[in-house]
Structure 1
């Protein structure tokens, strides 16, 4: 099969261990794009964290952000669509999270019209929330303020915990409130609107182009990539992937530190 669309996770997949796009990976991606193949980023990142990836690639692809909740056109810096958790659902999820995981901090991701829309506070966290990444850009507010408006994603954070354990504890209590996933095992759970995933986000990009799942090759490394790996005609897990992601994939390539994505693309584009 010659893929008509490439969908790839960013961290741990497209980027190497130094959070860079290697020259080999860039060359393979650019060769595919030059041949007319669509290329889509599918990431847990918010739109405001897409610019460095665009710079590293050398072109501005469509981006499925917030694990499928947001469709972002990086070429025009426009949020094309956003699916949100309502205030009612956020409030219910917050009650569940703080009851089931005592001491957990909560945060929400919101989007405006562009990646850096100053009119919309984008990452709000409750007092004492400990960021799971090295580049925190959250604004600390009261829990009431965190929950006062719809959000594309709720983050539940417990420093020192394992995300897999948190997901297992929360799953029986969340019900129809949203879908749980995680992209790191560093004590962080992400909740998106029910039925939303990277698969639904990529499908939102593909359908208007007349591209079906069978025409897609997808790459990922963590549980939040599993729906996309299962949906795509060819789902490829990285050699460094979480065991559950590997089990969901059609094949496993080499790690992100060894140009695993490029090695697969080079079958069709050299």
Structure 2
């Protein structure tokens, strides 16, 4: 790209955030400078809306973020924050995925991510900073009329205690790929499963279309397989030096690691 982009799309964990989940002073300054120069900045992450406090105070301008791998668009300026768009995973598709994975990968456990919070199966390794609002088997969590309300399903999480992470991803796509989108962002065998056609890339494309921004006017940054579609869609893409091998071979450029402010290094060349 020979001129500044109109929009910068950046992943968070392993990309913009350092390993301690902070945003460095250099990166904060670069993000502010980009917005001052008229460049929109979108945080595009697998995180749920409730985990966006790490960057909400660094939001400028529009204040929007794409969360849950594209399943939710979130207003970070609102108190909460507030989900303003949902691209849900149909319950029937989620149940089909559960049944297919249980058959193909015995030992798998599930969690259900909804706009209002997360719900776990009893044996799922829950996140210590985000205790589940309820515990039940996935069939019950996904059934209609279970007392969990009509809150849409944003994504299904599937964990296996023994499988290789990439092999588990390939298995998920092979056995249930007709029902949902499969990706991963964890080093462990943890699959993130979204509605058909839902990804960071497709939701970012919708947001850019609404703003009259073409793919070639977008610069994107990422480090894990859940970033691949977004990096392929953007006109200019950067893999972090610490990125998954598939990401490094799929991007047009590489920048330094998240610990070395790789995103800020590139933004500074534009502003």
Question: What is the TM-score normalised by the length of structure 2?
Answer: 0.91
Q: 1:125 aligned to 2:120? A: yes
* Residue in structure 2 matching 1:15, options 10, 14, 17: 17
Match of residue 232, structure 1, among 231, 234, 238: 234
The Cα of 1:16 is off from its aligned counterpart by 0.8
Matches within 5 A, 1:134-149: 134-138=128-132, 139-148=134-143
Aligned partner of 1:211 among 213, 224, 229: 213
Structure 2: 5+ residue runs without aligned partners?
Answer: 145-151
Q: Determine the structure 1 residue equivalent to 2:93.
A: 89
**Contact 1:127–1:143 (CA<8 Å) still a contact in 2?**
no
Deviates more, 1:7-16 or 1:158-167: 158-167
CA distance in 2, matches of 1:196, 1:148: 22
How far does the alpha carbon of each residue in 1:84-106 deviate from its partner, in whole angstroms, 9 at most, with x for none? 12121111110011111111111
Distance in structure 2 (CA, Å) of the matches to 1:263 and 1:102: 45
* Paired residues for 1:121-270 under 5 Å: 122-131=117-126, 133-138=127-132, 139-148=134-143, 150-269=152-271
| 1:3 corresponds to 2:5 | yes
Deviation digits for residues 231-261 of structure 1 (CA, Å, limit 9, x no counterpart) = 0011111000001111111101000011100
Equivalent residues, number: 258
| Alpha-carbon offset, residue 213 of structure 1 | 0.8
For 1:90 and 1:101, the matched residues in 2 are separated by 16
SS in structure 2 of the partner of residue 211 of structure 1: coil
Of 204-213 and 40-49, the range deviating more from structure 2: 204-213
Q: CA RMSD in A?
A: 1.5
Q: What is the rounded CA distance, in whole Å, between the counterparts of 1:32 and 1:173 in structure 2?
A: 43
User: Do 2:185 and 2:225's aligned partners in 1 also have CA atoms closer than 8 Å?
Assistant: yes
Range with bigger deviation, 170-179 or 211-220: 170-179
Deviation (angstroms), 1:136: 3.5
- Determine the C-alpha separation between the residues in 1 that align with 2:184 and 2:8: 22
C-alpha distance in 2 between matches for 1:137 and 1:154? 16
CA distance in 1, matches of 2:92, 2:143: 9
TM-fit CA distance, 1:53: 1.6
- Whole-angstrom CA distance in 2 between matches of 1:233 and 1:50: 26
Instruction: Give 5+ residue unaligned stretches, structure 1.
Output: 112-119
What whole-Å deviation, never above 9, does each CA across 1:97-122 have from its counterpart, x for those lacking one? 111111111111111xxxxxxxx4x2
Runs of 4+ more than 6 Å apart: none
- String of CA shifts for 1:143-180, please: whole Å, max 9, x gaps: 33321254110100112433211112222111320111
Q: Secondary structure at the match of 1:265?
A: helix
Counterpart for residue 114 of structure 2: 110
